[in-house]
Structure 1
Amino acid sequence: MSNWHDELGVFDLETTGIDVETARIVSAHVGRLDDSGRVVERHDWLVDPGVEIPVEATAVHGITTEHARTVGMPAAEAVGEIVATLRILFGRGTPVVAYNAPYDFTLLDREAQRYGVAPLVAPGPIIDPLVIDKAVDKYRSGKRTLALTALFYGVDLTDAHDAGADAIAAGRVAQALARVHAEALAFPAIELHHLQISWCREQAEDFQAYMRREHNPAFTTSGLWPVR
């Protein structure tokens, strides 16, 4: 029987901001890796989001409003293609990796609704290396950004905040996690998906308790995963 990490889809978005309710897609990548982490399929989109790209966002991913308007695909068309490509992977039963999955999948859901595209319904199985890493190595100190986590697991990330580079690196981090924590992650993909729902909720509860205790008694955060 194959392991969940033998073939992985990978998914990442670069956007206009951090608020999933208002941010728009600027670039996207959906691809597929084999069991060695080699890219065997890739789809890339540069998108005209239909709004100004804030300079703060351009500073992160390098895409300007002018470039997106000149070269980018209309947002409605791109969103439809991204959703359709992911739907094919899920339809095959291929696990899809997204680092901090609630951001990408929630934003894609809102964009689909914005443009009248049928959104993904209960997408899965999804593999979120951020949630998994926190679960299997709970007490490791330091931040858990993709760049730092990739470095920790010996995965190259040479062009951070490029959708393709980030997606592929996240997939390879997932495969590294599967090697390093083989016993803890020896589940079928769909079971691991459901475990991450519980893990993310517990992690959010712990973080909320910490923030209320140390900084803001009224702090709240969502533990919903993979779509909020």
Structure 2
Amino acid sequence: MREIVLDTETTGFEPSEGHRVLEVAAIEIVNLMPTGKVFHTLIDPERDVPPEAARVHGFTRADLEGKPLFAAIAPGLLEFLGDSPIVAHNAPFDFKQLDAEFLRCGHPKLDIKRMVDTLALARTAYPGAQNSLDALCRRFGVDLSQRTTHNALLDVKLLAEVYLELRGGRQPGLVLGSAPVVQAILREESAPRTPRPMRVTDEQLARFDAFLAKVKDPLWKKLEP
């Protein structure tokens, strides 16, 4: 099954307040494994980048000057997304941001039925626990050493690993027929086995008879020769 893991970085939280998308990153996964196909671009948001937002993702207005506008990258992004499910952490935020951008340049909004929210999945699996992307990476042993800012391209790579764990770990990718551990088990099963009869002591028999004496009409007595 083809799915797209996606992340955006923005100038702020609310498109209704004039905030814009400044980075989009997406990677393709098939059967929960990355295929190597990536969509990534920085975008000129056509406005300033507030200092509080720059501290989160590391991009300033100067970094984005001369980058393409969202209208220019929208066709390529839509083609990459196709009709596949879209996986994101706190997905309603990313959908809201992208929908505002798509509508601004004349494209329809994303179908909400395509949304897969890993934050909701994590809250179901680990209620009451910390379920930020950082916390989930630490829980699953995903390497966070490169994550000094919330860069969208790095975040989608981390999220793809987290999503795989949330969906049951690496079992879906195993080829059981060729797995060494399975072959070893099959070889063991095919080897001849020496019977190991169980021996009952006189003491155990006496204790069992004492137990049966307390049972009304015990079945075991009927089976005796």
TM-score range, shorter chain: 0.5 to 0.7
2:34 matches 1:44: no
Structure 1, unpaired ranges of 5+: 183-228
The match for 1:134 is 123
Task: Give the Å deviation of 1:153.
Answer: 1.6
Q: Report sequence identity in percent.
A: 27
The answer to whether the 8 A contact 1:53-1:65 is kept is yes
The higher radius of gyration belongs to: 2
Structure 2, unpaired ranges of 5+: 172-225
Task: Give the Å deviation of 1:49.
Answer: 0.6
- Map of 1:86-105 to 2, 5 A cutoff? 86=81, 88=82, 90=83, 94-105=84-95
Structure 2 counterpart SS, 1:135: helix
2:23 matches 1:53: no
* RMSD over equivalenced CA pairs, Å: 2.3
The answer to whether the 8 A contact 2:5-2:156 is kept is yes
- Map of 1:168-207 to 2, 5 A cutoff? 168-179=157-168
CA–CA separation in structure 1 for the residues paired with 2:112 and 2:102:
14
Task: Give the Å deviation of 1:46.
Answer: 0.7
The match for 1:25 is 21
Structure 2 counterpart SS, 1:48: coil
The match for 2:102 is 112
CA–CA separation in structure 1 for the residues paired with 2:49 and 2:29:
31
The answer to whether the 8 A contact 1:153-1:173 is kept is yes
- Equivalent position amino acid for 1:172 in 2: E
What is the aligned length?
168
Task: Give the Å deviation of 1:39.
Answer: 4.8
* TM-score between the two structures when normalised by the length of structure 1: 0.66
- Equivalent position amino acid for 1:173 in 2: V
Task: Give the Å deviation of 1:134.
Answer: 0.5
Structure 2 counterpart SS, 1:173: helix
Structure 2 counterpart SS, 1:179: coil
CA–CA separation in structure 2 for the residues paired with 1:34 and 1:123:
19
The answer to whether the 8 A contact 1:61-1:161 is kept is yes
* TM-score between the two structures when normalised by the length of structure 2: 0.67
